[in-house]
């Protein structure tokens, strides 16, 4: 979302990013593909992920729209393909069978899910032959799920945290601001560092400027104490940016 020019992708790759996350409904797969093609970074070093939207989750549409995504991205293989939301045309048996077919054919390198509940994840595991590689969910100091994190750890897949900066609201959270001041850094860096301190979690902050891209990447070097992490854990979960 929010990426409109291939140069942003080129810059992200130049400064060190190796995971590109997009979706059919974001309407920027072509931009991501053009940026990747223009970059000097070897394609083999980059993980490209996209998502099949909720209106295209019957088997024929999964196959057809994935082919369209490949064309827009300029790729012959998608590294990670997600079910974007388990709603609308999603049916576990038929939708996930279609994802298995793409995985078996080598059209996709891994299957991901997004915005699932613990019960829906359990059902998906019963239907999928391919392993679940990732579950992408909204995750930031004002909204996260210990239950989903526990499931990721139990079943050994990555919990991919989208909107890790709470849409900019991390700058308004006193606990996060105070910790940032103690470390002489930004609330954004603290939020990312807090997520990365959790086992099985990766964060995918969105940014378009080189300065913010570099700052978000540098946040990986910030080490929070266990006490600081617990303080952030205890913040009230009061802001879900993207409810169903």
What is the Rg, in whole angstroms, of the alpha carbon atoms belonging to the chain? 18
In the residue annotation, 103 being an active-site residue is answered as: no
Catalytic residue, candidates 26, 82, 90, 242: 26
What burial letters (b/e) apply to 158-182, b meaning 16+ CB within 10 Å? Answer: bbbbbbbbbeebbeebebbeebbee
> Torsions phi, psi of 143, nearest 5?
-165, 110
Distances (CA, A) of 232 to 76, 176, 178, 179, 224: 42, 7, 11, 9, 10
The DSSP element (H or E) to which 103 belongs, if any, is helix 92-105
List the Cα angle 117/64/88 in 5-degree steps. 35
Longest dimension (CA), the chain: 54
> Torsions phi, psi of 154, nearest 5?
-65, -40
Which SS3 state, helix, strand or coil, does residue 209 take?
coil
**Active site residue ranges:** 26
């Amino acid at each position: 979302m929010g990426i409109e020019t291939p140069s942003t992708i080129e810059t992200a790759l130049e400064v060190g990013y190796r995971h590109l996350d997009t979706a059919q409904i974001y309407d920027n797969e072509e931009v991501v593909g053009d940026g990747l093609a223009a970059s000097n970074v070897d394609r083999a070093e980059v993980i490209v992920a996209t998502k099949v939207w909720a209106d295209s989750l019957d088997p024929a549409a999964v196959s057809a729209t994935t082919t369209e995504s490949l064309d827009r991205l300029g790729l012959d293989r998608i590294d990670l393909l997600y079910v974007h939301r388990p709603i609308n045309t999603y049916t576990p048996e038929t939708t996930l069978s279609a994802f298995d077919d793409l995985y078996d054919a080598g059209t996709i390198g891994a299957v991901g899910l997004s915005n699932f509940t613990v019960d829906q994840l359990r059902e998906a595991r019963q239907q999928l032959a391919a392993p679940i590689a990732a579950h992408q969910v909204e995750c930031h100091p004002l909204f996260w799920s210990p239950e989903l994190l526990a499931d990721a750890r139990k079943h050994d897949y990555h919990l991919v945290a989208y909107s890790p900066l709470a849409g900019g609201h991390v700058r308004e959270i006193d606990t996060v601001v105070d910790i940032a001041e103690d470390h002489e850094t930004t609330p954004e860096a603290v939020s990312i560092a807090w997520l990365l301190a959790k086992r099985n979690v990766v964060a995918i902050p969105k940014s378009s400027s080189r300065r913010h891209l570099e700052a978000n990447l540098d946040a990986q070097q910030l080490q929070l104490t266990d006490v600081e992490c617990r303080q952030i854990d205890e913040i009230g979960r009061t802001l879900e940016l993207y409810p169903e």
